[in-house]
Amino acid sequence: MNLKQTIKLAAKSIAARKGRTFLTMLGVIIGLAAVIILVTYAQGTTKQMMDLMKSMGTNQIQVSAYKWTGGSSDDVVFNSLYNYCKQLDDLVVGVTPNQYCWFTVQYGAKNSNNMYSDDGSVQPPQIWMGSDQWAACNNATIAAGRDLTYLDVQSGSQVCVLGSYAAKMFFNYANPIGETMLFDGVPFRVIGVYESRINEETLTEETQYYVQQDNFILLPYTTTRAFQIAGSSNVSTGNSDFIVKAKDAASRIEASARLESFLKSLIGDSSTGNSYGYYNVYSNDNYIDSTEEANRSQQMLLGGIAAISLIVGGIGIMNIMLVTVTERTREIGIRKAIGAERRSIIIQFLIEACMICGIGGILGIAVGYVGTLIVCKQTLGIILLPNAGITIGAFVISVGLGIIFGLYPAIKASGLQPVEALRAD
């Protein structure tokens, strides 16, 4: 009796028991699809959050520092910081003020005060005042036109660079370069547009993160005076928020320590009360690390739930297989009585279990993929495919369970004397 015959026997046996076959397959399909969807969804949310954080730039050191100088000079701290960072050029990529401003922005009929959407998903652009190194510090690269230059900053040129979403808000798809925008009535010429900072794979235009990441306008921080002359009350004198961008994670830790001691010597130690202002050095990366940690444990939790559902699915498969054990025991008795060897009975049942679980497994993967696409599109707004490792792992486990439990009655019953197996009813 050859393998081809055995396969035919198994196929015949499956075809003859459509109801049972379907129920067994259902167990595999649901178990597998649930695992794929759950795990992929968890990975999707994690990746989306991490991409968002990384799009703002890693290895950033946030510095808040202010020194009372009797109101004479605005930029004492930044100038000192800038010069100090030049000495750290093996650790530091750039340094910039990072001042957030509440200007009313106008271009033609468009006014930033009218840019709040009803649901709050769209807001007017954020205005930042920074140096020519602001882009390097904030992960922004120029897409069209040019970036701020050292000269722009030194001379306080009234020029601005737009984030890609801000450009779309004011100019739609028209070319903004060379156009003049008004910030609290003060005119600035648009000199460039930045590339989108969004990873398009995980953050699409439909998610509001998109808006936050590219909806900004950068002005040279040295134009503060122009606003004061124009009578705007939306600028503060003297910058107190800075970003120092380190080369990598190790440099960040080193640079943070050095900046801390530098600022201590510049401003004084607040803990002793012998100080002329305040300072604070911290990094988002600490937050990213701890978020990553939290995400990992969330993923483990979801993975655990998925594993449980897989086990429950496996038990379902086992139950279906065992419910028919009497029927199959008698069948095995008949087959042995008319001359089947133990081996050929086991092989037939093995092939049967492989076919049922294999087909169920493939259908389960299909349902899992479609389910993942629908769930991720509906809840995360992105198109995400399950990773191959999870798919293969879940397939192997659920199909393996089905085969083991499908084979169990055959192994047990085929070892009986035929007369005992025939007695089952």
Partner 1 sequence: MLIDIKNVFKIYNEGEEREVRALNGVSLTIDRGEFVAIVGQSGSGKSTLMNLIGCLDIPTYGEYHLDGTDVTDLSDRQLSHVRNKQIGFIFQGFNLIPALSAYENVELPLIYQGIKASVRRERVRDALERVSLWDRRDHKPTEMSGGQQQRVAIARAIATHPPIILADEPTGALDSKTGIHVLEILRRLYKEGTTVILITHDNGIAATVPRVVRISDGQIVSDGQQEVDWL
- Positions touching partner 1 (CB under 8 A) are 1-2, 5, 9, 12-13, 16-17, 330-331, 333-344, 417-419, 422
Least Å distance between CB 339 and partner 1?
2
Closer of 12 and 86 to partner 1 (Cβ): 12
Nearer to partner 1, 338 or 388 (CB): 338
Closest by alpha carbon to 419, among 329, 338, 333? 333
- Residue with Cβ nearer partner 1 (52 or 421): 421
The CB-of-301 to partner 1 minimum distance in angstroms stands at: 44
Compare residues 13 and 204 and give the one whose CB is closer to partner 1.
13
Helix (H) or strand (E) holding 315: helix 284-323
Residue 349 in contact with residue 406, Cβ under 8 Å? yes
For residue 111, the cross-strand partners are 106
Please enumerate in sequence order all residues whose Cβ is within 8 A of that of 381, keeping only pairs 6 or more positions apart, or say none.
204, 206, 207
Residue with Cβ nearer partner 1 (393 or 418): 418
Closest CA to 132 of 104, 160, 165, 103: 160
Least spacing, CB of residue 10 vs partner 1, in Å? 12
Q: Which two tokens stand for residue 237?
A: 């004198």
Q: How far is the CB of 17 from partner 1 (least distance, A)?
A: 6
Give the separation between CA 199 and CA 53, rounded to whole angstroms.
11
Both tokens of 57, joined, read 């730039």
Pairing of strands 186-194, 216-220: unpaired
User: What is the torsion angle, in degrees rounded to the nearest 10, for the CA atoms of residue 49, residue 55, residue 57 and residue 62?
Assistant: -60
CB of 9 to partner 1, least distance (A): 7
- Residue 67's CB is within 10 A of a number of other CB atoms, namely 19
**C-beta of 258 vs 330, nearer to partner 1:** 330
Per-residue three-class SS string for 82-140: HHHHHHCCCCEEEEEECEEECCCEEECCEEHHHCCCCCCCCCCCEEEEECCCHHHHCCC
Q: How far apart are the first and last CA of the chain?
A: 28
Nearest residue (CB) to partner 1, 323 versus 334: 334
Q: How far is the CB of 15 from partner 1 (least distance, A)?
A: 8
Task: Identify which of residues 197 and 335 has a Cβ nearer to partner 1 in the complex.
Answer: 335
Closer to partner 1 by Cβ: residue 214 or 331 = 331
The SS3 assignment for 336 reads helix
Give min distance, CB of 406 to partner 1, in A. 16
Decide whether 91 or 345 has the Cβ nearer to partner 1. Answer: 345
Q: How far is the CB of 408 from partner 1 (least distance, A)?
A: 19
* Region of residue 168 (phi > 0: left; psi between -120 and 50: alpha; otherwise: beta): alpha
Q: How many whole angstroms separate alpha carbon 391 and alpha carbon 37?
A: 10
Q: Report which secondary-structure segment, H or E, holds 213.
A: helix 208-214
Type of residue found at 215:
N
Compute the least distance from the CB of residue 321 to partner 1, in Å: 16
Buried b (16+ CB within 10 A) or exposed e, 84-121: bbeebeebbbbbbbbbebebebbbeeeebeebeeeeee
Nearer to partner 1, 13 or 126 (CB): 13
Least Å distance, CB 335 to partner 1, is 7
In DSSP terms, 213 is beta-bridged to none
Shortest distance (Å) from residue 331 CB to partner 1: 6
